[in-house]
């Protein structure tokens, strides 16, 4: 369960206020995969970061039960001078999972070949995303936070990413940010539309998509 209690997030840039969330109260049940929909700049990624605990709200709070992933595919915490394998082992130790099992999973999943044993700073953006997604999916969480990451890579990698994610969803929930309605329909059962600081929840993904598309056409 993840509950938003009077959650407000406001940015002030050059004297102008941007309201991302305004006094939002909402509860998401455990095990549900929810699409976060909204136009560019609405604040979807900011909401994910607040749920992850990497960004603080202006006011209000987020209450949760169970474990929550970092935003899946986020590579910002990897050490540039460590190899992909060494970074993977480091993350495994932090989260208390078997290091060898995680390394084996990520090496097979990410498909980086010899680059898996080279410094992370030598990776292209795509390689960094593949490593980060593999590490994220290799650790069991009760709720996964996903921000456009399954769009990374070629068709084979996208297919593999979707398959692994669906397998995780058999025992977990998720919040998914994606501009692909096809992907949203495949991965999510419910949706929440963020617009002008307001968050509207739908337990039917098609109703959420319809609301989002009306906003985009307006």
pLDDT above 80 (res 150): no
At the top level of CATH, the class of 1-67+143-155+170-218 is: alpha beta
Domain boundaries, the chain: 1-67+143-155+170-218, 75-140
| The pLDDT of residue 15 | 84
Q: H/E/C letters for each residue in the chain? A: CEEEEEEEEEEEECCEEEEEEEEEEEEECCCCEEEEECCCCCCHHHHHHHHHCCCCCCEEEEEECCCEEEEECCCCCCCCCCEHHHHHHHHHHHHCCCHHHHHHHHHHHHCCHHHHHCEHHHCCHHHHHHHHHHHHHCCCCCEEEEECHHHCCCHHHHHHHHHHHHHHHCCCEEEEECCCHHHHHHHCCEEEEEECCEEEEECCHHHHHHHHHHHHHC
- Tens of pLDDT, residues 151-169: 556 677 877 887 888 888 8
Model pLDDT, residue 153:
61
Tens of pLDDT, residue by residue over 84-97, are: 999 999 999 999 99
Chain segment 4-13, per-residue pLDDT in tens: 999 999 999 8
**Residue 147 banded pLDDT, cuts 50, 70, 90:** confident
CA-atom Rg of the chain in angstroms? 18
pLDDT at residue 148 tops 90: no
* pLDDT tens string 167-189: 888 899 999 998 889 888 988 99
């Amino acid at each position: 369960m993840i509950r938003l209690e009077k959650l407000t997030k406001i940015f002030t840039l050059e004297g102008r206020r941007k309201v991302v969330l305004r006094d939002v109260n909402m509860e998401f049940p455990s095990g549900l995969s929810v699409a976060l929909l909204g136009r560019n700049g609405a604040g979807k990624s900011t909401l994910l970061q607040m749920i992850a605990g990497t960004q603080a709200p202006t006011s209000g709070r987020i209450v949760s039960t169970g474990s929550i992933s970092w935003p899946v595919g986020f590579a910002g915490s990897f050490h540039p001078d460590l190899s992909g394998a060494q970074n993977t082992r480091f993350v495994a130790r932090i989260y208390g999972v078997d290091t060898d099992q995680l390394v084996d999973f990520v090496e097979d999943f990410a498909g980086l070949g010899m680059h898996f044993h080279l410094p992370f700073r030598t990776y292209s953006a795509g390689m960094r995303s593949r490593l980060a997604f593999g590490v994220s999916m290799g650790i069991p969480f009760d709720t996964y936070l996903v921000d456009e990451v399954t769009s990374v890579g070629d068709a084979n990698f996208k297919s593999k990413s979707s398959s692994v994610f669906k397998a995780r969803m058999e025992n977990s929930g998720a919040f998914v940010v994606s501009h692909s309605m096809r992907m949203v329909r495949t991965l999510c059962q419910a949706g929440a539309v963020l617009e002008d600081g307001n968050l509207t929840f739908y337990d039917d993904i098609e109703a959420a998509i319809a609301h989002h598309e009306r906003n985009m056409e307006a």
